Structure 1
Amino acid sequence: MRGRTTRHGRTERNRWLNAEVGPRDVAVVYGAVVLVPVLLWAVTNPMVAVGVGVLVTMTYTLVRVGTRVVRELLRVRAA
């Protein structure tokens, strides 16, 4: 990106204005845009949102514990 200059001809040193936009920056913006309707839905349906949150949390926990158990069983069987 070209260096921006002030009206006095000096190069602007603000790194945020001269930074390149990468894929990670675009992903963060799109992720924030996707979260807006999700948050609005959660505000209008709080009990359903809590239920979905509990379901997701329990599923994540069970997957984590299940993978540890399976890895341990495979280690015991290999030994």
Structure 2
Amino acid sequence: MTLPNVDLMKAMPKDFAIEAKCLTLEALQKLHAIAALETDWTSQDMQELRRALGKFIGLIDAQILCAIYKQFPDLNDLPEEEGSQKSS
């Protein structure tokens, strides 16, 4: 599953980008919270769930946040070494 091409988001208004960033970060926090609910990931079903969570977290980060930060680098408030979203 892939999300819309990053180029489709080039014309987003800044106020939209700010709100989208906040909602996206909230969604990522909730996905991370799902992963934190379980400590035993040994069953195949739980491993598949963990793998799916990781894929979705990666897609959201790479496709949505990177698109926002590419168009509005000033919205990326993570230090360069901590953030996986690069504006270049």
Q: Same fold (TM over 0.5)?
A: no
TM-score of the two chains, using structure 1 as the length reference: 0.33
Counting helix residues as a fraction of each chain, which structure ranks higher? 1
TM-score by length of 2: 0.31
- Find the structure with the greater CA-based Rg: 1
